[in-house]
Amino acid sequence: MSQPITLSAEQREFRAVVRQFAEDKIAPRAAEVDRTATYSWENFADCRAMELPALGIPAEYGGSGADSTTQAIMVEELARVCASTALTILISRLATIPILNWGSEDLRRRYVTRIASGESQGSYCLSEPEAGSDVASMKARAVRDGDSYVLSGMKSWITNAGISDIYIVFAKTDPEAGNRGVSCFVVEREFGLNFGKLEDKMGVRGSPTGEVLLEGARVPVENRIGEEGQGFSIAMATLARSRPTIGAQAVGIAQGAIDEAAAYIKGRHQFGRPIADLQGVQFMLADMAMKTEAARGLVYRATALIDERDPRHELAKVGAMAKCFASDTAMEVTTNGIQLLGGYGYVKDFPMERYFRDAKVTQIYEGTNQVQRVVIARRLLAET
């Protein structure tokens, strides 16, 4: 079993630095970013100045080489004030995982370095209108034509659609082979990608989600990641590595709600005293904090497995647990946060309702929590 996580002095100092940065630079814009559903280039520029896009990328490709737990701390602290900004950073990091683990050295030099510097941003193009959890039913095609592949089809629910200039695209090179017919490509925007509608979302509104249109895009053969037919296994292994980061985002949202609720109940007076003196209110806050701390520990255990290179093949199970438990916790904590604020929790003058809306998607993307439970159960049954 992986050892419990105890943060180092350096990690605790890093948390303090990122928290101060988030409070000073990101938090003041969070409500307006949400209200206007506008991608904040200012926030990205500030994150780039802090070298946050480089976090976790190996030094030989322009990164800082930080471990996965430190990356989770960064996502958590950004999400504590603005889940949209946290998603902006983590989605580009997601795009680097297939290149770093299965791509050629040339692809790493050409693309990972650009993401590390903040010159480029990346997106992950797996889902389609009729292929969400059922990846094998995707319709996107990649047909070999000499030294290139010609893509066709559409990807949907793509984070940072139209913002990113590097897209990790999964398409079928053999439509008759099911999972074994899927291949993976690095596709630059300039290769001929177009973009459809952007979704009008309930939460994380400062991070655009939309359609990526592949029709006629031509991708050089050297931009294929791995071999033909390896795409499905690359996609699943990538998500196993990235799900703990979604858990970190959920923990950050929950922590933001706890902090907001605690400040409110200390200042809100009823019947001549702060409502924080009421035992029922105290119990609600205590439960919120306990579950969030448990979720944080599970996320850090999963990130430790990533850094250990998962020697006991536990990551798929523990990563699913971390994502599932943390996101369910975020939904419960933000719901109770609204309850503690009463009517003020229900209006946009306070950030609690934004935390609530932002929390919901963490139960859905990178595999719904129902899918996570299937993954967990299958792994447990295979172990017995």
CATH label of the domain that carries residue 207: 2.40.110.10
> Is 1 a member of any domain?
no
pLDDT digits (tens, 9 = 90+) for 16-72: 999 999 999 999 999 999 999 999 999 999 999 999 999 999 999 999 999 999 999
Q: How far apart are CA 127 and CA 73, in angstroms?
A: 27
CATH number, position 378: 1.20.140.10
How confident is the model over 200-210, as a mean pLDDT? 98
| Residue 314 belongs to some domain of the structure | yes
Q: Can you give the residue range of the structural domain that contains 112?
A: 9-117
4 occurs within a structural domain: no
- Whether 339 and 206 share a structural domain: no
Q: Which pair of tokens denotes residue 172?
A: 């079928």
The reply to whether the predicted model has a pTM over 0.85 is yes
- The angle at the Cα of 136, spanning 314 to 148, to the nearest 5 degrees, equals 105
Q: Give the residue-averaged pLDDT of 364-381.
A: 96
- The token pair at 326 is 């943390």
Considering the domain architecture, whether residues 98 and 134 belong to the same structural domain is answered as no
Number of domains in the chain: 3
Provide CB contacts within 8 A for 302, sequence distance 6+.
Answer: 243, 244, 247, 315, 318, 319, 321, 322
DSSP 179-216: GGGEEEEEEEGGGT-EEEEEP--SS-TTS-EEEEE-TT
Q: Are residues 190 and 324 in the same domain?
A: no
Q: pLDDT band at residue 5, thresholds of 50, 70 and 90?
A: low
Is 314 annotated in the active site? no
Tell which of 198, 229, 260 closes a domain: 229
Kindly tell me the burial class for residue 49, based on how many C-beta atoms sit within 10 Å of its own C-beta (0-12, 13-18, 19 or more). exposed
| Three-state secondary-structure class, residue 66 | coil
Report the distance separating Cα 162 and Cα 333, nearest Å: 33
Which residue among the candidates 77, 128, 188, 366 is catalytic per the annotation? 366
- Fill in the DSSP letter of residue 291: H
- Flag whether 274 is in a domain: yes
The predicted model gives 292-304 an average pLDDT of: 97
Same domain assignment for residues 140 and 33: no
| pLDDT (tens digit per residue) in 92-139 | 999 999 999 999 999 999 999 999 999 999 999 999 998 877 888 899
What does the mean pLDDT of the chain come to?
96
Q: What is the mean pLDDT of residues 216-222?
A: 97
How far is it, in rounded angstroms, from Cα 163 to Cα 189? Answer: 10
SS3 sequence, 77-89? HHHCCCHHHHHHH
Query: 286 pLDDT band (50/70/90 cuts)?
Result: very high
The whole-number pLDDT of residue 351 equals 97
Final residue of a structural domain among 229, 264, 287: 229
Segment 212-236 mean pLDDT: 97
Mean pLDDT of 69-83: 97
Distance CA 158, CA 210 (A): 5
- The set of residues, in sequence order, having a beta carbon less than 8 Å from that of 189 and lying 6+ positions away, is 164, 165, 166, 167
Last residue of a domain, one of 74, 102, 117: 117
Q: What is the pLDDT of residue 1?
A: 45
In this prediction, what percent of the chain has a pLDDT beyond 70? Answer: 99
